[in-house]
Chains A and B, each alone.
Chain A
Amino acid sequence: MIEMKDIRKVYQMGKVSLEALKGISLRVEPGEFVSIMGPSGSGKSTLMNIIGCLDTPTGGSYFLEEKNVAGFNFDQLSSIRNQKIGFVFQNFNLLPYATAYENVELPMLFNGKPGKKRRQRVLELLEMVGLVDRQAHRPTELSGGEQQRVAIARALANDPSLILADEPTGNIDSKTGQEIMGLFVELQRQGRTILMVTHDMTIAAYSERTIRLLDGHLVEARQ
């Protein structure tokens, strides 16, 4: 699914260059559930951004489903994000003025899915996360857990094979967090690959494998 070799990321800040990733090699098999842990500034976010095709590495190769995406341009990466990757963020990142329905619909608006199929898919996903009756509500009218479920539904809109979650339970209470994690487990059971950044050991315990990052290096991979 994911094969990274010697991935480097250097940020140039004026005359100072900051090496956020210092040669990361990583392999994730299809259907794996992997947690990424590490202290602040260890390079987790940078790694996630590169895996999520939001950013490009300065060096190294990154194969996503056998395609070397390291050399892709912005719009090609947009297509990858749209088709192959679903994002779940700590702070949900829903459009505040749009309803739950519209938020779930959003990724489908960028690949030209016809209206009828779009509608069918949105309702199917809202059904799956148990929010069909709340489809007309805006994020402010939903609880944190509900918002995160909308976000998960949105992440699944184009049926991606890879789900990237950045502290998905960070802004919700632990009981709701467990429900959310239940959803992730279910997604993995459906055959999706899940990569999750977390600080929380109990959350990381849901995954099959944990990767640790420290100062831009991969320090330990626990099976």
Chain B
Amino acid sequence: MILTFFRNLFRDLRRQPLRTSLTLSGVGWGTFAVVLLLAFGSAVGKQNMKSFRGVGQGFVIAFPMSTTLPYQGLPKGRRVRLTPEEIILAGQKIAGIKRMAFEFTATRRIRYRREDVLNTVRGVTVEYGDIRNVIAGEGRYLNGTDIALKRRVCVLGNAITKNLFHEEEAVGRTIFIEGLPFTVIGVMKKKIQTSNFSGQRDEHCVFIPWTTYSALFGDKYIGSFIFQPENIAASKRLIRLVREHLGSRAGFSPDDKDALFVWDWTEFEKSFSIFFLAFNIFLGLIGSFTLLVGGVGVASIMLVVVEERTKEIGIKLAVGAKRRHILWQFFAESLAIVLMGGWLGFLLAALVLRAIPIEKIREYVGIPEINPAVGVAAIMILLAIGVISGMMPARRAASTNPIEALRK
């Protein structure tokens, strides 16, 4: 039965090869557009999110500044000074903080043999690397012992490594920071970073234990601190708690927004995600419209087909076809055209995606691919169009009056 159904279906499609292929190409082209747009859209979104996360992931940055409100008898305009110990304590006291880290930052003179550069040196904690995605590609990142023993060790950004060492192996060598020797223990894995704060991008920085930094360069107060909320949605509440806690310790009002300048990166991340979701929906819509044009083509062709086959419908009804038999016949035919066209579009899109010289554009658009999300979205759109474009002609066919149809 099903076999006969499909045999008849394909015979009906083959009867008008030109018409069928034109309709197919309309749908195929639409699908091609949808798939390609969605593939590029999701790749661009992913790539940008990746670059965006180069600076770190789901975290909040805070810079101690100067007070702008009087606090408990203290005048405004006082500099807010925070010691590493205060930050460590805050990280332990405030519930809901997943990780907390701080840094000392300055531009310093760095030398290796004849190479002599001025780059950002960051005195940091172990957690800092996790939050900021500073991951060692060679060697290792700083550990607790480095910090506790104030070791003169450093992790280099991948770009500064290249400037200092060129093709030479860096791990195990000694560099000089402000004339003081440091052993290179690791080189940061290359990462794409589009945003940054305090100094150069990480690939140009030297990371050393904060204890070493403080001991050698005499800094007592941190330049900035960062923390990751356990739950991103709670970032606002945590910021408030941090202000309250540090305000009472360092002498500033929790309402004094300028005393502690806070940059909630999680907010950016949220709006960024929303932006790219909207962007993808937009692309999907544009593609869907192209596909819709193909669907309209199918619907109008099928209406003509129904008109042409009125007699056939009449004969079938006369020998006992029910309305649903006729409905299914035409619905299946439309759907078959849409699905076959869709398949062709998919195939073409896959071929095109494979043919694109991806390396040249990878930095900006990532790797456009037909991932499951793209596939599912495209198939859903395709099915929706298929059902819409098939239903109208099929309903018309099914409502044929057999007596009038047989007279034709």
Interfacial residues, chain A to chain B (CB-CB below 8 A): 49, 52, 54-55, 74-75, 78-79, 81-83, 87, 89, 93-95, 97, 105-107, 109-112, 114-115, 154, 157-158
Contact = CB atoms under 8 A, between A and B. Distances in A.
**Among B11, B317, B319, B325: residue with most chain A CB under 10 A:** B319
Nearest to A114: B1
A110 B403 contact: no
B322 A54 contact: no
3 A-B pairs closest in CB distance: A82-B320, A107-B319, A78-B322
A110 to B, nearest CB: 5
B13 to A, nearest CB: 12
Nearest to A73: B323
Contacts of A52: 318
B319 A54 contact: no
B402 interface: yes
Contacts of A81: 317-320
Interface of B: 1, 3-4, 11, 15, 311-312, 314-325, 402-403, 406
A107 B403 contact: no
A80 to B, nearest CB: 8
Given A52-B318, A54-B403, A93-B315, 20 more contacts: A54-B406, A55-B403, A74-B323, A78-B321, A78-B322, A79-B320, A79-B322, A81-B318, A81-B320, A89-B406, A93-B311, A93-B314, A94-B315, A106-B315, A106-B319, A110-B316, A111-B320, A112-B1, A115-B3, A158-B320
A24 to B, nearest CB: 17
Nearest to B4: A109
Nearest to A49: B403
B327 to A, nearest CB: 11
Given A54-B402, A93-B315, A97-B11, A107 B323 contact: no
21 contacts: A78-B321, A78-B323, A79-B320, A81-B318, A83-B320, A89-B406, A93-B311, A93-B314, A105-B4, A106-B315, A107-B319, A107-B320, A109-B1, A109-B4, A110-B316, A110-B319, A110-B325, A114-B1, A115-B1, A115-B4, A158-B320
A78 B11 CA distance: 25
B319 A82 contact: yes
Contacts of B320: 78-79, 81-83, 107, 110-111, 158
A150 to B, nearest CB: 12
A15 to B, nearest CB: 21
A55 B3 CA distance: 32
A87 B316 CA distance: 11
A106 B317 CA distance: 11
Nearest to A105: B4
**Among B11, B311, B322, B325: residue with most chain A CB under 10 A:** B322
A89 B402 CA distance: 13
B323 A154 contact: no
A21 to B, nearest CB: 14
A146 B389 CA distance: 40
Contact of B321 (A54, A105, A110): A110
A87 B4 CA distance: 23
A109 B318 CA distance: 13
A136 B10 CA distance: 18
Contacts of A95: 312, 315
Nearest to A48: B403
Nearest to A79: B320
Contact of B406 (A93, A109, A154): A93
A56 B316 CA distance: 18
Contact of A87 (B311, B318, B324): B318
Given A54-B402, A95-B312, A97-B11, A154 B1 contact: no
Contacts of A55: 403
Contacts of A75: 322-324
Contacts of A106: 315-316, 319
Nearest to B12: A97
A110 B323 CA distance: 11
B329 to A, nearest CB: 10
Contacts of A78: 317, 320-323
A54 B15 CA distance: 29
**Among B4, B11, B402: residue with most chain A CB under 10 A:** B402
Nearest to A103: B315
Nearest to B5: A109
Contacts of B322: 74-75, 78-79, 110
A106 B312 CA distance: 11
Contacts of B311: 93
Contact of B318 (A54, A74, A105): A54
A107 B321 CA distance: 8
A52 B318 CA distance: 9
Contacts of A157: 319
A105 B320 CA distance: 12
A81 B315 CA distance: 11
A77 to B, nearest CB: 9
A127 B15 CA distance: 29
A106 B402 CA distance: 16
A25 to B, nearest CB: 23
Nearest to B320: A82
Contacts of B406: 54, 89, 93
